[in-house]
Amino acid sequence: MLERTLEPELTTDHEEARAYDEMDHVAVNSAFVADLISSGMLDGGPVDPEADHSWILDVGTGTARIPIELCQHTRACQIVASDAASCMLEIAKLNVAIGQCEHRIQLHHGDGKQLECLADLFDGVMCNSWLHHL
């Protein structure tokens, strides 16, 4: 019988977070964003009819590479990027600034299993490469 070793649920080591951020996720992230845009989720209409964008929650954002990529491909969204690992969010803050997305991406420190949000606050939720940690 194979022994199963679970990955840690969150990254607490700054070097590990930096190494994760430096990994080449370009193809996977691009495919995720393309699928998200083609899904029509962003065309579902914002909660506020006066707004010109949808609000998206990204659970387990890590270093926010996917929200940045999404912002670079569409103007149709505002993103709340949430992660439980403060060391990931420290890198995410820098990435968001480098990507010039501070006005579109809000970083949130929180546990994705215990987020308390109003159901009608977001038009959509995205999550990539996080569920396997649970």
Q: How confident is the model over 39-48, as pLDDT tens digits?
A: 887 765 555 5
Terminal CA-to-CA distance of the chain, rounded, Å?
22
pLDDT at 48: 53
Q: Who contacts 122 (Cβ-Cβ below 8 Å, separation ≥6)?
A: 47, 55, 56, 57, 80
Distance CA 61, CA 85 (A): 10
Q: Which helix (H) or strand (E) holds 56?
A: strand 54-59
pLDDT at 99: 97
Confidence bin at 8 (pLDDT 50/70/90): low
pLDDT at 72: 93
Distance CA 91, CA 107 (A): 11
| 132: number of Cβ within 10 Å | 7
pTM confidence score? 0.85
